Structure 1
Amino acid sequence: MPETNPQVAEIAAALRMAREARAAVDAIPSRYAGGLMALARERYERGDAGIHDRIAQGLDAVAAAIEQNAVFRRTLESPLIPAETQLKAVLAVLDDPATGLSVPREVRNFIGVVVRNRRAALLARIIAAFRALDAERRGEEQAEVVTAVPLDDTRRAQLLAALNRAGHARVRLAERVDPAILGGLVLKLGSRLYDSSIRSRLQRLAHAMKGAA
């Protein structure tokens, strides 16, 4: 039986630990989103017919604040800022009349739990996970689209029409802006990823040129 190279074994073990750690982190947003969906289901069964829509709209408002307010986003993402400071920052944004946010009590309480449990950096991913669960509840597919600039109504309609032609008739878009992709778009639909960004094209061109050198 051939001997195992200790260095190779060490690298393999490190990679395995990294995969396990990533899987554990990826499970956290789903767990929190599932808890919030369970709460919404319980309220719905008690007769609160609008609970799912209220929570979804409240989370959309928070997601927009995270996307548009860089200082707010950095505050949530920093592991050095105490939880209570992060929570005050969240509540300051939610209570600021200038933002015009309308966040129901259930969402405020939920965000408080997330922040106090030191999961503030995952808040955007938790919201995305809830959106996916809510889309499934509605019999829709959840698609995340990343663009360098916000989608206008025409481009949004064109994208939905293209998805419809590809057999995805009921798609709910979660839109995110990332100037780093330079142009084009990145679309994640279920386990499938479609990357037509300019950044990706430049990377492929660079690799091709390197291979031809």
Structure 2
Amino acid sequence: MSRTGRLYGDSLYDLAAGEGLEEAIREQMEQIRELFRENPAYVKLLSQPVIPLEERKKLIEEAFGSQAERYLVNFLKLLCDRGLLREYPECCRAFAARYDRDRGIVRAEAVSAVRLSEEQMEALRKKLEKFSGRQVKLSQRLDPGVLGGLRVEMEGKSLDGTVKGRLQGIAEKLNEMT
């Protein structure tokens, strides 16, 4: 996460928390992030210095003014004003990280070669919650390089239950014995 994204995302979170708007703004930020991802030309338009700044801010107001929280609309205008709209996804990540931390939520990612079923994901989530003592939001990423089993990445740590991971563990133990 970039320093700029963290600074701006945390600042918006502080404002939102002061008004009790964290959840609403988090949801709206994700919707806008998805909209920006699907429409990169719109973000490029809002970043064009040949278009007067007031016109770009007016476009933001027209697009989001009646639908998003005022703090978020003003936040988008501020990013536009400072030429930082490219940092918006990082701001979203920082905001979401603060939101999760304040609620005792930890994010984890299951990495496997094949898609896990809903039942498997739910069982894994429950085990991770028991292990961590916190609420876990679990996502999944497919990696064809994972041979047998799965790897869970959580809080900067990797819990490796893959065949490759087990073989590496055995090799390390054998090396220690020699």
TM-score range, shorter chain: 0.5 to 0.7
Aligned length: 153
Residue 137 of structure 2: SS of its match in structure 1?
Answer: strand
Residue 2 of structure 2: SS of its match in structure 1?
Answer: helix
Which position in structure 2 is the counterpart of 1:211?
A: none
Within 5 A, what are the aligned runs for 1:140-159? 140-143=105-108, 157=122
Which position in structure 1 is the counterpart of 2:13?
A: 37
Q: Is the 8 A contact 2:107 2:137 kept in 1?
A: yes
Q: Where does the alignment leave 5 or more consecutive residues of structure 1 unmatched?
A: 1-24, 44-48, 96-100, 197-213
Task: Tell me whether 1:170 sits opposite 2:146 in the alignment.
Answer: no
Selected match of 2:94 from 121, 129, 137? 129
What is the alpha-carbon distance in structure 1 between the residues aligned to residue 151 and residue 109 of structure 2? 8
Which position in structure 2 is the counterpart of 1:199?
A: none
Which structure's relative contact order is higher, taking Cα pairs within 8 Å and 6+ residues apart? 2
What is the alpha-carbon distance in structure 1 between the residues aligned to residue 3 and residue 56 of structure 2? 22
Which position in structure 2 is the counterpart of 1:21?
A: none
1:14-35, CA deviations, whole angstroms, 9 ceiling, x for partnerless residues?
A: xxxxxxxxxxx82111100111
Task: Tell me whether 1:66 sits opposite 2:36 in the alignment.
Answer: yes
Q: Is the 8 A contact 2:125 2:136 kept in 1?
A: yes
1:158-184, CA deviations, whole angstroms, 9 ceiling, x for partnerless residues?
A: 5523533543531235x699x9x6798
Say what the alpha-carbon RMSD is for the aligned residues. Answer: 4.4
Report the TM-score, using the length of structure 1 for normalisation: 0.52
Q: Is the 8 A contact 1:141 1:189 kept in 2?
A: yes
Q: Where does the alignment leave 5 or more consecutive residues of structure 2 unmatched?
A: 162-178
Which position in structure 1 is the counterpart of 2:167?
A: none
Report the TM-score, using the length of structure 2 for normalisation: 0.60
Of all paired residues, the percent bearing the same amino acid is 17
The 1:32/1:74 distance shift into structure 2, 3 A limit, reads same
